Structure 1
Amino acid sequence: MDTWQHTTVLLNEAVTALLTKPDATYVDATFGRGGHSRLLLSKLGPQGRLIAFDKDPDAVAEAARIADARFSIRHEGFRSLGELPHGSVAGVLMDLGVSSPQIDNPSRGFSFRNEGPLDMRMDPTRGQSAAQFLATAPVEQMAEVIRDYGEERFAFQVAKAIDARRQERGPLATTTELAELVARAVKTREPGQDPATRTFQALRIFVNAELEELQEALDASLTILQPGGRLVAIAFHSLEDRIVKQFIAKHSREVVDRRAPFAPPKAMKLRALERVKPSAQEVAANPRARSAIMRVAERTDA
């Protein structure tokens, strides 16, 4: 069991928005520590099914503690949603970003607050770590990643500092080394925010290809949702929320083929239902909830 605790954000709101038919099949696309999954299972009927996905081996180990025949977990990222049968599920839940146990466990390398290896992979068994990327990436590529995924104004200065450091003393190896370097390179900081916040966010998103995977998962959700099925997505920063918002908007309008202007327009595939933010009480109890935005859409008959 995890030493690090996780408080699920918008728990009741998400499950209420998602669950329309108790005996249908649902997907928790980002199991995390299972807060949404456990509540959903408590409300499912005897014929209901819940399929969960997660890249993180710790999350898969946590899921193994759920002794319920209606539940299964796949050790895969949610870009694999498209492997499920078309039109087979009544709801897809995506709780995006990084979980508290991942942030709080220094060995995972997500946090600038505690010293740990500079890793940041959701699945430490696959892919390139943040340290490996920073050891060899050209300055221009590092700056592009930090600017585009972290929205960091001083991205080029940070990249130059990383390059100077690796030439002088070798590559960065720990989270604190990177955090201290960024603090020196970022000349002004936002009130209440550590200067390393944006750089760490950028590297995490890049290493895990989070935005690309989100786009693939959203596209896949359209194929696996039944008519009337719900898409519920909770985002914690503007880059993710923008992708979700634009995806729902794109598929919530009829499309006219300009090459055949007199042909009937293609019907919309989604209907936007609501946008929900955490209550003041939830934010007071769990400050990490403050930036969350939940968007809900429904699959149309098209």
Structure 2
Amino acid sequence: MDIYSEKQQIATAIRTLKAEKATLGLVPTMGALHKGHLALVKKALEENDKVCVSIFVNPTQFDNPDDLAKYPRTLEQDLELLKSLSDSILIFAPTVEAVYEGRTLSEKFHFDGLEHEMEGKFRIGHFDGVGTIVKRLFDIIQPDKAYFGEKDFQQLQIIKKLVEIHKIPVNIVACPIYREPSGLAMSSRNTRLKPDYKKAAPFIYKTLKTAKKQFGTKSAVNVTQWVEKQFASHKLLKLEYFIIADETSLKTVTRKSSTKQYRAFIAVYADDIRLIDNIALN
């Protein structure tokens, strides 16, 4: 397993791989790896000769400085986990300086309005930061395929749009949400949950599953009101938003159509830890 911290180093290694006609998959991460990340890596290993895993806590996608400071950083542990999977993994773990070269700023992107829905309303500038780092990783790594989890479904749709708009020659592979036995969506932030909140957090997925059942017979407005009522009476979990949206446009649904695919999105605070999840409705 080869580890690189400089762009020039990994670019040289990738040129060698390309000369050998090896296929290359990319799994971008911010570290603090868990089984969900490893599922992405395993999928990438099945479909490519080599896989690059990037480990980089990207400062430009954090709108909250405290969240950035508290984000778990476990590089040595991450490397051990990846080493146990395969020898066909390249690690790109750059510094902020190596990525941003002294100008830690986001580029400005337009994603046909996708960036203004849901997370975009609550995390100003977040998707400019995501677009900036993902575009730079694609430029450096030049992968044939890149793997993203559906837990961050809005991010996934935005990255697909980034690739489309900028004509980047990479195939985006969406992978299912990986859940803990309790149903809680796997997240690096879960490690920061205090015991009472960790015990309460599976209520999020339980509520999503019931909302999916209700969506078959009730309107989107009625389902949304029901979810808001469930969290209004919850002692530990605070609902930031619950939205039923068109999977393609991410626009909030007002009237259902039999020709469209819908998904429910949720963001919840468990103490000061922000958790997101989603579920396909049809």
TM interval, short-chain normalised: under 0.3
TM-score, normalised via structure 1 length: 0.23
* TM-score normalised to structure 2 length: 0.24
User: Quick check: which has more Rg, 1 or 2?
Assistant: 1
Higher percent of residues as strand: 2
